[in-house]
Amino acid sequence: MDQIAMTSSAVFRWLQSQPLPLTLLVLMALDVVSGIVASVITKTTSSDVSHSGAWKKTLVWIVIGACAALTPLAGGIPIMKIACSFYIVDEMISIVENAAKAGVPVPPEIRSALVKIRPSSSLAKDPPIIQQTTVNNGPATINVIPGDIQAPAAQTNKGETQ
């Protein structure tokens, strides 16, 4: 048991001295929480998806560990920092995707930037619908989340709604 405590202590001390892996760890935790919240809101909870995600995150840490081991041999190339930076961006995209799935509005500029970074993103599948409207006697743009749009009632020739 002492060996586990010593190993855990060494890992946490290392994480405290390495801001990128620590940031990645925090974002992974936030991604898990945001994924659970989104799946509860959309009523799509699945233990298979959760297990798959946990195994993928485990593999990310194996990659980070391998990169950390290779960094001293890379001739000054910060391989671990590069790998951490990549996975940090990936986790941020996933958090924003989870927020969008849960119905949180995502600004079109952020949505389009994230789709450029990750074309397979779920954000690419449901682009926002832009509607122009007038607010306080001036034009305004309103982003409408797909699925929240209701078709206007059809009008007859006499102006009556059906």
Cβ–Cβ under 8 Å, residues 28 and 59: no
User: What are the pLDDT tens digits along the chain (162 aa)?
Assistant: 688 888 888 877 877 788 999 999 999 999 999 999 999 999 998 888 889 999 999 999 999 999 999 999 999 999 999 999 999 999 998 999 899 889 898 888 888 887 787 777 777 665 444 444 555 665 555 544 444 444 444 444 555 555
Please tell me the total count of domains within the chain. Answer: 1
Query: Does residue 105 form part of some domain?
Result: yes
**Cβ contacts of 77 within 8 Å, gap of 6 or more:** 71
Domain limits at 82? Answer: 2-127
Query: Does residue 90 form part of some domain?
Result: yes
Residue 13: per-residue pLDDT? 82
Distance CA 124, CA 68 (A): 34
DSSP assigned state of 72: G
Residue 149: per-residue pLDDT? 41
Give the ranges where the chain is alpha helix by DSSP (H).
2-17, 19-41, 47-70, 79-101, 108-117, 122-125
DSSP assigned state of 115: H
Query: Does residue 140 form part of some domain?
Result: no
Cβ–Cβ under 8 Å, residues 112 and 130: no
Q: Which residues face 129 on adjacent strands?
A: 144
Query: Does residue 134 form part of some domain?
Result: no
Query: Does residue 13 form part of some domain?
Result: yes
Residue 129: per-residue pLDDT? 44
Query: Does residue 44 form part of some domain?
Result: yes
Query: Does residue 20 form part of some domain?
Result: yes
